[in-house]
Amino acid sequence: MVIPIQIFVQMYILEDSAMAQFLERSVVVNGDAAIDWFVISGVTRGEESGSRRNISRLSSQPGGVYLLNDLIGATVNRFNQKNPAEPWQIYSLHTPEASFHPSDLRINHSFARCTRQAGKPTPAWRVVERLGIQKATADGIQPWQLIEDDPDEAALILLHDSNLGFRNHQELWPKALLNSDKKPWVILKMAKPIMEANPLWEYLRQNFSEQLIVVIAVDDLRQAEVQISRNLSWERTAQDVVWELTYNPKMNALLDCSHVIVTFPNVGAILISRSEHADQFPECHLFFDPKHSEGSWEQAFPGKMSGYQCCFLAGLSHHFLTGEPDINTGIQAGLSAMRTLHQTGFVVKNENELLPDLNFPLERILDNLEKQTCNFSRILIEFPTRLLHEKALEKDPPFAPGYWTILESCYTSNLDVVAREVVINGPETALKNVPLGQFNNLLTVDRREIESFQAIRALIKEYCAASRVERPVSIAVFGPPGSGKSFGVKQVAKSLKLPDVKIEDITFNLSQMKSPDELADAFHQIRDKVLKGIIPLVFWDEFDSQLSGQKLGWLRYFLAPMQDGEFTEGQLRHPIGRAIFVFAGGTCATIEEFEGKGTEEFKDAKGPDFVSRLRGYINILGANPPSKDSRPDPYYIIRRAILLRSILGMAAPQLFANGDGSGKLRMDRGLLEAMLKVRKYKHGARSMESILNMSTLANKTRFERSSLPSESQIELHVDAQNFFSILQRADFEEGRLEALARATHTVYCDGLRFRGEQTKAMVNYENLPEELKESNRKSAKDILRKLEFCGYEPVHARSNQIPLDFPGETLDRLAEEEHIRWMREKLQAERTPHWHYGPQRDDDQGIHPCLLPWREYSPEEKAQLFTVEEWQRIGEGFLPEDERNKDYDMVRGIPEILARAGYAVVKSRDDNKS
């Protein structure tokens, strides 16, 4: 079978006088050429009724550098049509005049099988199996391997290296690479084996390193001697790549290049740019799709395509045409072009034929490049050894040192504001640049959870595919009560959507069993499902509970079923078959806590033997903050926000703008604050769900605080006093703030009158200058912070409330906090000259005699209170007693100030601060 190959590259014929200026705007493309052959498969009905038969045909298209020629040539042509005054010239390989047979050994051939794949919005023809490459074996240089009118100079050189001979034959390399004194930009698409010594790489490294951009597919890189994780988390994979290219002696020569780009087809890329200084880390950026991990986007569009890297190079080089190379925008364009290629599939030439001839979707990709869409997030990658090189940290990071998360990089403060946005508008809107771990109906943004769920997902997928494995696979899941342990694993299993594999869950609570003999009945139920062709997802709930008073007493009875896939009933041994065992902890929040339960006791209970049979585990973080003796985790409020929106979306979808649990949520501000900031949900996520389910939301289109259940019902799931205190705090910043500010001014004036003092501020609140009114508002807003700092909170006043007098130590702390607040207000005021200490007050000159510290502070305390520059404007000595009395008056008056707004002050129930 002979199929003609046509490659069209438009050339511009120039006069000699114009040639020089075009050399500065010329692109040279060369590399390994190939013909891509596709076996197109389908099924048709036979002549006999109901019979079916397989049919196939062969189709071909230009491959390798020929495909790159088409893309770059068409890109340049479109650019020149829009910019006729400054056209670019492209020089590329000589177009073959002859037709090729698949067995013609003068040229390289690749083979793949294509079928019509289902997908949205329409089905598409894609590759389902790569059949291999037949390398050319003919001796000598063929005409189609040479560049027509190869110029001595160029602005940009693109090299398509597929390890098919081009890298080893210098006579094929562009003249501009060998002869030009000028250094053009060179983009090298490098193929496996990566970093294997070859003439092309060594030449480019020695002569063009400062102008060299190397593009590598991550799967080609993985086939070298490197360790790069796959589909766990973007953070882990990014740091794996950076570490390997920096510290692996077989890879780090790549950093001699100006830029190295590692591509993850359709979903992301890593850009590593060489530092100008040898002693500095390279600058590393990750481009990624927050909604998809490696390989997940393609699940909606089954199959693969040929030409991903060519599309990426076209997008990257497209932004060299407009002036100074914009590599960041070029990477975005390249990734977008990859997606267009995959989603479109091959273009059908002869629509009416049963098996069509296929074409590369060139026009669709060019249209995409012109749109210049930027659908991918960009984040600076934290260098893997950064903390090892820093002498000291100003403060401990929220997570373990060196544990980088994109969430933390994007949102270091104002997490309560971010959490509110997550609930109201959804995580896709509020957390635009943060990776989202979506597993069916489970959504998480925590790197640790994403990695754990991805690992378990891969384990279950591999187990389901290994049909010859006849014993169960075992995993463990830990977390606080009500953290959603079972829900998480179920959603991970459902997210697989494996064809011809049916998974059903079944749960056994070991704390409700009295004897190991009851396990036999459970195993028989599991066997019944196995015999029906089902893979049971078996939850052994509270497996770490006691048995007959012995801690972890159940563990020893699972060793044989886990290891051998058998259980004993009387004298008989029964095979269990294929099953997924999920051991859900009830007493341990983490596997580390489980393994540390008393060394000897753990050994006696066969704990080490049990752990050795596990194939994976998950630590679920839950909706509550960690205990006080654990490392701080301020991002729990983001997890709460995601959980709250998810539960409301399922329980009351009419509260959302779209009426189906999506869009903007309509919810009372104070109620939202309480749900997010309440100190603790007593039973984890179950408590949050219970409060929402007990609320009267039927036929409501807005979640108001009046919809809440009674205080006694809420007390079952949270500290009701703390909950309602937070709920009412929003009022402080809304309608009641002015009343509180007025009351603050009244208390201040009363204190001055009591001591017989007189100032110009002793006028009615309405007559105060706006500057002093704002000062009173700030003082009123700060009341809540001071109360929380000392272990108190405001609640709605009731007739049986006893007026509160702060005890002496608390009063001292509150007064000191009030003075610090006042000093910050002065020192941070935007005015000229800045406020500073002086013995005689002069408002025009910004001088105030009360800008003095309350007491002696340690260096650590000083650093937390004020900046170095602010301390320079603070006087020496301490605040005199007569001025301290004003602060004492203010904090003694807090109960009175709040009473005027309808609040009483009470001691927090579970406070341990005082």
**Judgement on whether residues 225 and 93 belong to the same structural domain of the protein:** yes
Residue 869 has pLDDT above 50, yes or no: yes
Residue 494 confidence (pLDDT): 92
Residue 242 confidence (pLDDT): 94
Residue 400 has pLDDT above 50, yes or no: no
Please indicate, yes or no, if residue 881 is contained in any of the structural domains.
Answer: yes
Please indicate, yes or no, if residue 340 is contained in any of the structural domains.
Answer: no
- The domain boundary, picked from 703, 732, 761, lies at 732
Q: Strands, DSSP E only, in 433-587? A: 437-439, 442-444, 473-478, 503-509, 535-541, 566-569, 572-575, 580-584
Three-state DSSP class for residue 695: coil
CATH label of the domain that carries residue 556: 3.40.50.300
Residue 8 confidence (pLDDT): 33
CB 420, CB 641: distance < 8 Å: yes
Domain that holds residue 202: 16-39+57-113+135-293+352-360
Q: Using pLDDT thresholds of 50, 70 and 90, give the confidence band for residue 401.
A: very low
- The residue-averaged pLDDT of 291-307 equals 90
Q: Strands, DSSP E only, in 428-500? A: 437-439, 442-444, 473-478
Least confident of 121-130, 205-214, 791-800: 791-800
**Judgement on whether residues 585 and 458 belong to the same structural domain of the protein:** yes
**Judgement on whether residues 706 and 829 belong to the same structural domain of the protein:** no
Q: pLDDT tens digit string along 480-519?
A: 888 889 999 999 999 998 888 999 999 999 999 989 999 9
Three-state DSSP class for residue 30: strand
CB 174, CB 180: distance < 8 Å: no
CATH label of the domain that carries residue 191: 3.40.1190
Residue 20 confidence (pLDDT): 44
In the block, tokens 């219970």 appear at 690
**Judgement on whether residues 693 and 806 belong to the same structural domain of the protein:** no
From residue 757, how far is each of 753, 754, 775 by CA, in Å? Answer: 6, 8, 20
CB 396, CB 257: distance < 8 Å: no
Q: pLDDT tens digit string along 377-398?
A: 999 999 877 544 444 344 444 4
Residue 732 confidence (pLDDT): 65
Tokens of 721: 């006093």
Residue 183 has pLDDT above 80, yes or no: yes
Expressed in angstroms, the distance from the first to the final Cα of the chain is: 89
**Judgement on whether residues 772 and 840 belong to the same structural domain of the protein:** yes
CB 772, CB 761: distance < 8 Å: yes
Number of independent structural domains in the chain: 4
Please indicate, yes or no, if residue 627 is contained in any of the structural domains.
Answer: no
Q: pLDDT tens digit string along 228-252?
A: 999 999 999 999 999 999 999 999 8
Q: If we measure between CA atoms, which residue out of 479, 706, 438 comes closest to residue 586? A: 479
- The domain boundary, picked from 566, 591, 619, lies at 619
Instruction: Give me the long-range contacts of 435-439 (CB less than 8 A, separation at least 24).
Output: 435/233, 435/234, 435/235, 435/288, 435/290, 435/293, 435/406, 436/290, 436/291, 437/233, 437/293, 438/291, 438/495, 439/488, 439/491, 439/492, 439/494, 439/495
Please indicate, yes or no, if residue 300 is contained in any of the structural domains.
Answer: no
CB 194, CB 251: distance < 8 Å: yes
Q: Using pLDDT thresholds of 50, 70 and 90, give the confidence band for residue 195.
A: confident
Q: What is the DSSP letter of 774?
A: H
Q: pLDDT tens digit string along 628-670?
A: 666 778 899 999 999 999 999 999 999 999 999 999 999 999 9
Q: How far is 742 from 750, CA to CA, in rounded Å?
A: 12
Please indicate, yes or no, if residue 903 is contained in any of the structural domains.
Answer: yes
Q: Strands, DSSP E only, in 143-267? A: 156-160, 185-190, 212-217, 259-264
Q: pLDDT tens digit string along 51-89?
A: 566 778 888 888 999 999 999 999 999 988 888 888 888
Helix, strand and coil percent figures for the chain, each rounded to 5? 40, 20, 40
Q: pLDDT tens digit string along 30-52?
A: 999 999 999 988 756 555 545 56
Q: If we measure between CA atoms, which residue out of 588, 593, 492, 485 comes closest to residue 546? A: 588
Q: How far is 404 from 699, CA to CA, in rounded Å?
A: 44
Tokens of 54: 């397989």
Q: How far is 414 from 417, CA to CA, in rounded Å?
A: 5
Q: How far is 817 from 809, CA to CA, in rounded Å?
A: 12
Helix H or strand E segment including 608: helix 607-612
DSSP string, 287-305: EE-TT--TTTGGGGS-SB-
Average pLDDT, the chain: 86
- The residue-averaged pLDDT of 888-905 equals 83
Q: How far is 97 from 413, CA to CA, in rounded Å?
A: 64
**Judgement on whether residues 525 and 646 belong to the same structural domain of the protein:** no
Tokens of 116: 């019509």
Q: How many CB atoms are closer than 10 A to CB 885?
A: 16
Tokens of 96: 């073959």
Please indicate, yes or no, if residue 575 is contained in any of the structural domains.
Answer: yes
Residue 402 confidence (pLDDT): 52
**Judgement on whether residues 698 and 798 belong to the same structural domain of the protein:** no
Q: How far is 18 from 20, CA to CA, in rounded Å?
A: 6
**Judgement on whether residues 663 and 609 belong to the same structural domain of the protein:** no
**Judgement on whether residues 610 and 708 belong to the same structural domain of the protein:** no
Q: Using pLDDT thresholds of 50, 70 and 90, give the confidence band for residue 755.
A: confident
Q: If we measure between CA atoms, which residue out of 468, 473, 536, 475 comes closest to residue 501? A: 536
Tokens of 127: 């590759």
Share of the chain above pLDDT 70, in %: 90
**Judgement on whether residues 754 and 813 belong to the same structural domain of the protein:** yes
CB 675, CB 724: distance < 8 Å: no
From residue 754, how far is each of 748, 760, 841 by CA, in Å? Answer: 10, 16, 23
State the amino acid at position 300 in one-letter form: A
Please indicate, yes or no, if residue 422 is contained in any of the structural domains.
Answer: no
Q: How many CB atoms are closer than 10 A to CB 476?
A: 25
CB 446, CB 639: distance < 8 Å: yes
Sign of CA dihedral 885, 886, 888, 893: positive
Residue 14 confidence (pLDDT): 36
Regarding beta strands 156-160 and 124-134, do their DSSP bridges make them parallel or antiparallel, or are they unpaired? Answer: unpaired
Q: How many CB atoms are closer than 10 A to CB 894?
A: 24
Helix H or strand E segment including 421: helix 415-425
What strand order describes the sheet that includes 503-509?
503-509, 535-541, 580-584, 473-478, 617-619
Q: pLDDT tens digit string along 527-569?
A: 999 999 999 999 999 998 899 888 889 999 999 999 999 998 8
H helices, E strands: number in the chain: 32, 28
Please indicate, yes or no, if residue 541 is contained in any of the structural domains.
Answer: yes
Of these ranges, 144-153, 180-189, 290-299, 805-814, the one predicted with the greatest mean pLDDT is: 290-299
- The domain boundary, picked from 360, 378, 396, lies at 360
Q: Using pLDDT thresholds of 50, 70 and 90, give the confidence band for residue 733.
A: low
Q: pLDDT tens digit string along 440-462?
A: 999 999 999 999 999 999 999 99
Q: pLDDT tens digit string along 571-596?
A: 889 999 999 999 998 888 889 888 87
**Judgement on whether residues 759 and 669 belong to the same structural domain of the protein:** no
Which residues face 17 on adjacent strands? Answer: none
Tokens of 43: 């099924």
Of these ranges, 182-186, 688-692, 734-738, 862-866, the one predicted with the greatest mean pLDDT is: 688-692
**Judgement on whether residues 851 and 751 belong to the same structural domain of the protein:** yes
